Amino acid sequence: MIEKQDLLIEIGTEELPPKALLRLANAFASEVLAGLADNQLTHGESQRYATPRRLALLVSDLVAAQPDREDLRRGPSVAAAYHADGSPTRAAEGFARSCGIDVGDLETVETRNGSCLACRIREQGKATAVLLPKIIETALSRLPIPKRMRWGAGHVEFARPLHWVVLLFGSATVEASILGVATGNTTLGHRFHHPHAIPVARPRDYPDCLEQHGHVIAGYEKRREQIKAQAIGIAEQCGGHALIDPDLLDEVTSLVEWPIVFSGSFDSAFLELPREVLIATMQDHQKYFPVTDASGNLLPLFIAVSNIDSPAPDVVRTGNERVIRPRLADAAFFWRRDCEQPLARHINGLQQIVFQQALGTLHDKTQRVVKLVTCIADQLAIDPAPARRAGELAKCDLLTEMVGEFPELQGVMGRYYAQRDGEPGEVAAALDEQYMPRFAGDRLPQTTTGRVLSIADKLDTLIGVFAIGQAPTGDRDPFALRRAALGTLRIMIECDLDLDLEKLLVHTAAGFAEPVNASRMITSVFDFMMERLRHYYLDSGINIHIFEAVLALRPTQPLDFHHRIQAVTGFCRLPEADSLATANKRISNILKQAAPGILDAVDRSLLREQAEQRLAAAVDEVGRRVLPMLEKKDYGNALTELAGLRESVDVFFDDVMVMCDDESLKNNRLALLRDLRGLFMQTADISRLQG
């Protein structure tokens, strides 16, 4: 019977970066489990744990050793292994010597090439305890740590200094050194409530042992749910609803080992500040959860989480209230100062702010964007004035004191200040919407002006950054160009904006002055954006061949591209789709191989076979119905009509020899196939559907 034991690994450290804790915990568990798999160490279920001061993994029913291995080493053929008198050749002797046995102990095996000598080598599996230290150190070296640090006089590097390592296999401690720290069977409890060693008798005792004796809830999800439930409950007791941002909840969970949730309050006079300012102060600066009433209006309350179960909770509450007061007072001061002058007064100040050294100042970018929004408005046949005004004010809030303190409120504060200045509502909204979508899945601009400004701003950045040689490479994308490209495409498609992307890129490039040679980047940026579009459709479940079928025609209008994608997707559901896709691929191959000489138009007098006459008539008839649809970009109905050609096409290929000896007949038949394929090619290259 195979011996199995539970395994516990705990890496004890200084406080780990809270925003990286969950990622590190998941990566550590994944890498260790991968190491066990690589070493053929099978096991049962696993559970990872993570607190600010520890990464841990509990693996159940881990085998005590690798399975024994048996390798069959093949040597020379029997014919080459023995002389005519039956004595072994030097080849046989050398092979036996390399195996550490006598020639007589070798066995003969049959292969496809005949009989050969072979040796079975049996290797005993290594003990799990022997393999674990290397598996763990390899896992730690592969963690996604942006910046590693050293401590003490050694050269060991990790996210934070290591203080202890628990390595238990069953009830036995696996003695080793992990990143210079000796392993043991004792963990440490809460830094303040129980800063003492806690022995762990068995791996399965680990979470309960820490919670009961060490004031530490090791389970990340358990702490998170406890914080969330308590925050919701306390807010309800106060007559409100806790505004729980998932990212903040994760961050707070990563900051505490023994969460104590409580409420606090602040002066209601601060509610006169913009909602986003209050939320940013509470969430980003103080790590508090705001509280709203039933209508979603902020209340002068907050929910905080402490890592200490204080005997004087009122003192803790008062301390937090005292800390947030000056934060809010500063925000109120910035708000008053910024409101003393109109937003437009900052336009000239943009000349002092560098956008990018080679691309000029924010004032230069503003001027380019204003020109570009005019081109976009012209394509959409709308009044360009609101978008031009929004473009002029777009970056002005970057010079306000509020955005200087809260950079994450760029755009948001521009909207508030523009509203106070009496700017048109759509202009004010556009100042916020220019940054949308801010992240994957984020909402899109709701106003036409906001959509136009957002597209212009993103295209200017894309062309400009490409032109100075800073295009994304691998995982490196400091200007977030992938997000800008996808955001632009989403706005055009999901907001039904019939814009020609290629023409807009031409206009964008023309806005850059020498020595920036932006025009040479138009094709590169277009192709880059099409690659983003590929991911957009693949993520939404569109088959790659459908995307390639449309891309083959290189439509330059993303909305038109989308309509073609929808049409081809619908076409693929038709029973005629496979046959017609195959026929189109066959036609494509025939036309590629055909010599010059295809007639400009089909000559009816040269249609000899009934099948080709029937196909020509069908192409003419369907073509008359389809062309008006294609002019209206009604691709779906056009392809449905074209599906009706299937029978005529099948009969044609069954009965007609296209590449016949008669040149005139051959070229006429090629012309017919060209016309047939041309009807499909006005929507997509459906031959690509065959892969």
Per-residue model confidence as pLDDT tens digits over 10-34: 999 999 999 999 999 999 999 999 9
Alpha helices in 239-282 (DSSP H): 246-253, 275-280
pLDDT at residue 2 above 80?
no
What is the model's pLDDT at position 104? 86
What is the arithmetic mean of pLDDT over 137-150? 92
Burial tier of 582 (Cβ tally within 10 Å: 0-12, 13-18, 19+): middle
Q: Pick the closest to residue 190 from 101, 270, 257 (CA basis).
A: 257
Q: Which residue has the tokens 């925003």?
A: 19
Q: Pick the closest to residue 677 from 608, 559, 584, 564 (CA basis).
A: 584
Q: Pick the closest to residue 49 from 162, 261, 209 (CA basis).
A: 209
The backbone torsions φ and ψ at residue 384, rounded to the nearest 5 degrees and listed phi first, read -80, -10
Distance, in Å, from the CA atom of 509 to the CA atom of 465, rounded to the nearest integer, reads 11
What is the model's pLDDT at position 1? 60
Distance, in Å, from the CA atom of 419 to the CA atom of 426, rounded to the nearest integer, reads 10
What is the model's pLDDT at position 208? 96
What is the arithmetic mean of pLDDT over 249-257? 97
What is the model's pLDDT at position 433? 97
pLDDT at residue 675 above 80?
yes
Distance, in Å, from the CA atom of 96 to the CA atom of 75, rounded to the nearest integer, reads 9
- DSSP assignment of 504-566 equals HHHHHHHTPPTT---GGGHHHHHHHHHHHHHHHHHHTT--HHHHHHHHTT--S-HHHHHHHHH
For 383, residues 6+ apart whose C-beta sits below 8 A from its C-beta are 377
Alpha helices in 610-656 (DSSP H): 610-631, 635-642, 646-655
Question: 202: which 2 tokens?
Answer: 């068995």
Q: Model confidence at 391, in pLDDT bands (50, 70, 90)?
A: very high
Cα dist. 96→85, 90, 93, 103, 221 in Å? Answer: 19, 10, 5, 5, 59
Domains and CATH numbers, the chain: 4-66+127-214 (3.30.70.260), 72-123 (no CATH), 223-338 (no CATH), 357-541 (1.10.3210), 564-690 (1.10.730.10)
What is the model's pLDDT at position 428? 97
What is the model's pLDDT at position 516? 86
What is the arithmetic mean of pLDDT over 129-147? 94
What is the model's pLDDT at position 257? 97
What would the pLDDT profile of 476-494 be if each residue is shown by its tens digit? 898 999 999 999 999 999 9
What is the arithmetic mean of pLDDT over 461-474? 93
Write the single-letter amino acid at 594.
A
What is the arithmetic mean of pLDDT over 152-161? 88
Question: 252: which 2 tokens?
Answer: 């707070």
What would the pLDDT profile of 396-447 be if each residue is shown by its tens digit? 999 999 999 999 999 999 999 999 999 999 999 999 999 999 988 899 999 9
The mean of the pLDDT values for the chain is 94
What would the pLDDT profile of 176-221 be if each residue is shown by its tens digit? 999 999 999 999 999 999 999 999 999 999 999 999 999 999 999 9
What is the model's pLDDT at position 55? 98
Q: Are 398 and 530 in contact (CB under 8 A)?
A: no
Specify the pTM: 0.83
Asked which of 133-137, 338-342, 527-531, 583-587 is least confident by mean pLDDT, the reply is: 583-587
Asked which of 127-136, 279-288, 583-592 is least confident by mean pLDDT, the reply is: 583-592
Tell me the three state secondary structure of residue 101.
Answer: coil
For 230, residues 6+ apart whose C-beta sits below 8 A from its C-beta are 259, 261
Cα dist. 77→82, 103, 109, 111 in Å? Answer: 9, 13, 9, 10
Question: 526: which 2 tokens?
Answer: 């277009």
What would the pLDDT profile of 302-326 be if each residue is shown by its tens digit? 999 999 999 999 999 999 999 999 9
Question: Which residues does residue 375 pair with via DSSP β-bridges, in sequence order?
Answer: none
Distance, in Å, from the CA atom of 567 to the CA atom of 685, rounded to the nearest integer, reads 12
Q: Model confidence at 676, in pLDDT bands (50, 70, 90)?
A: very high
Q: Model confidence at 642, in pLDDT bands (50, 70, 90)?
A: very high
What is the model's pLDDT at position 659? 87
Q: Model confidence at 522, in pLDDT bands (50, 70, 90)?
A: very high
Q: Using a pLDDT cut of 70, give the percent of the chain over it.
A: 99
Q: Model confidence at 683, in pLDDT bands (50, 70, 90)?
A: very high
Q: Using a pLDDT cut of 90, give the percent of the chain over it.
A: 82
What is the arithmetic mean of pLDDT over 502-529? 94
Q: Model confidence at 532, in pLDDT bands (50, 70, 90)?
A: very high
What is the model's pLDDT at position 595? 62
Q: Model confidence at 691, in pLDDT bands (50, 70, 90)?
A: low
Q: Pick the closest to residue 519 from 601, 464, 593, 576 (CA basis).
A: 464
Burial tier of 332 (Cβ tally within 10 Å: 0-12, 13-18, 19+): middle
pLDDT at residue 584 above 80?
yes
Alpha helices in 190-245 (DSSP H): 206-214, 220-237
